[in-house]
Amino acid sequence: MSFSIGLCYTTVMEIKSSKKITLLSLLEELSPDSSKNTLRGWLEKGRVTVDGKRAKFAKQTVEGGQLVKVGDKKKFLHRGLKIVYEDEHIVVVDKPAGLLTVATDKETDLTVHAILKRRFNNRPVYPVHRLDRETSGLLVFAYTEKAREDLKGQLFRRTMGREYRALVHGDPGKGVWKDYLWENIRLYIEISNPKAGKLAITHYQVLQKRGDRSLVKFKLETGRKHQIRVQAANAGYPLVGDNKYGNAEDGRLFLHAAHLKLQHPASGKSMSWNSPVYW
């Protein structure tokens, strides 16, 4: 058994199983002072992994030699912003809808970037990618220039995995959208041609039908501004709550960055995180 403490100041525990055993029993060995309800709570909150994969069930069988880890508690920073992973190189956060990623001409203080910088008295924090104000979900920031350049390279090479969940009007089924996107002088993204626009590639698959709406999984190959929103609307399946590219509606935009996968810029280790959808 080993313990390590990172910048979050919360303990990470891990244990390698020496025999075939249920996950709950192994967690009891790992933390004998914790109640079974507490251990089950770790599972429900997604804190437990077996060989790097999230574990969901207390009765799951763990084989000898498999590694079980209990991850950090999520830390709330401001207005629902949560840290889901942090070390000296990177920080992964779960952003609520309504919060900007980085500063604009109209807003400089109430952004994810500014909140992270204030947390360590303006230590360097480098944005890697962005989410729209109305979009919730997972974002990664770098704490060093070297880490930022490495992560930017992963984005450029399209090796960083990003999946979204969205509620759309209609039933798009399953397929791939390939369009060229261009931003006009009104900051509105339009479908264009190869000479004027930049290629946007989005894979989509309906996960669940909800009347005349669908819950859809979107996987990005490229990361253009408003990519999912524009392509979905252009195909005839606008996102619910998208007042800019879809229908005029009340309520929030139903778009969530649910999965993020990358190679750690220092260790090279493959890492991934999930953020559940609650709508």
CA–CA separation, 77 vs 109, rounded Å?
14
Asked if 64 and 5 count as a contact pair (C-beta separation under 8 A), the reply is no
CB 271 within 8 A of CB 264: yes
Q: Answer for the pair 234, 202: CB distance below 8 angstroms, yes or no.
A: no
The span from the CA of 83 to the CA of 116, in Å, is 10
Positive or negative: CA dihedral 43, 44, 47, 49: positive
3-state secondary structure at position 151:
helix
Cβ atoms of 193 and 180 within 8 Å: the answer is yes
Radius of gyration of the chain (CA): 20
132 is catalytic: yes
Annotated active-site residue in 132, 150, 179, 242: 132
User: What are the DSSP calls for 201-258, one per residue?
Assistant: EEEEEEEEEETTEEEEEEEESS--TTHHHHHHHHTT-PBTT-TTTS---SS---EEEE
DSSP calls for 152-211: HHHHHTT-SEEEEEEEEES---EEEEEEEEEE-TTS-EEE--TTTSEEEEEEEEEEEEET
Strands 48-50 and 53-54: antiparallel
Instruction: Decide if 1 contacts 14 (C-beta within 8 A).
Output: yes
Catalytic residues: 132
